[in-house]
Amino acid sequence: MSAHRRLNGRLIIATHNGGKLREMRELMAPYGIDCVSAGELGLPEPDETGVTFMENALIKARAAAMAANLPALADDSGLCVAALDGAPGIYSARWAGESKDFTVAMALVEEQVKAKGAVTADQRGAWFISALAIVWPDDHSEEFEGRIDGVLVDPPRGTAGFGYDPCFLPEGHARTFGEMTSEEKHGLPEDGSLALSHRARAFQMLAKACLD
């Protein structure tokens, strides 16, 4: 197996999502990588036609890398609910509609979960997945995936974070992602222990392979 490729210089973060961009910039900050977003470069959003998180991450990273002739990092992530057979999954953003209103998306998830009769904590299991892909202009790619398990809460709690954060209570914690600071949610432990959020866990793997 070939060695991982090191990342340095300028990097496109292939997203038009402000919350995701903020988290990725915070994670990259200690490594001195010059980050610019696909949105800031005016790059179009490609159609996400993959059937897995990683396929969609690769589509986004590859489109940005080829358009701007720079390495590009993309995240594809979402909420998966056990009672809904893993939905919304790769369609998590689409459940928020054209307006990207995740209050609506969380209400829709809750409605469907209750329709399944999932009312107790052991019936309301859920997990977040984050797939990170880096693609270089020569089409070399690196892929990493992180997961965090927890349960859905109703009503949603907290106004921090973004997306489905207020309705997700990570396993072993008393506060939702929506009630946690950015550092609590995705800070990288200095002792190398496992980070909390799905995106931070995927980023730990990326950092070890391509940045440290």
Active site residues: 76
Question: Which of 107, 110, 80 is closest to 92 using CA atoms?
Answer: 80
Dihedral sign of CA atoms 163, 168, 173, 178 in order? positive
Q: What gap in Å lies between CA 207 and CA 33, rounded to an integer?
A: 12
Assign 156 to helix, strand or coil: coil
Q: Cβ atoms within 10 A of the Cβ of 147, count?
A: 14
Question: Which of 99, 60, 62, 98 is closest to 76 using CA atoms?
Answer: 60
Question: Which of 55, 62, 99, 61 is closest to 78 using CA atoms?
Answer: 55
Q: Could you tell me if 65 and 135 are in contact, meaning their C-beta atoms sit under 8 angstroms apart?
A: yes
Do you find a cis peptide bond into 189, omega within 30 degrees of 0? no
Residue type at 154 in one-letter notation: D
Residue type at 146 in one-letter notation: G
Place of tokens 């914690």: 173
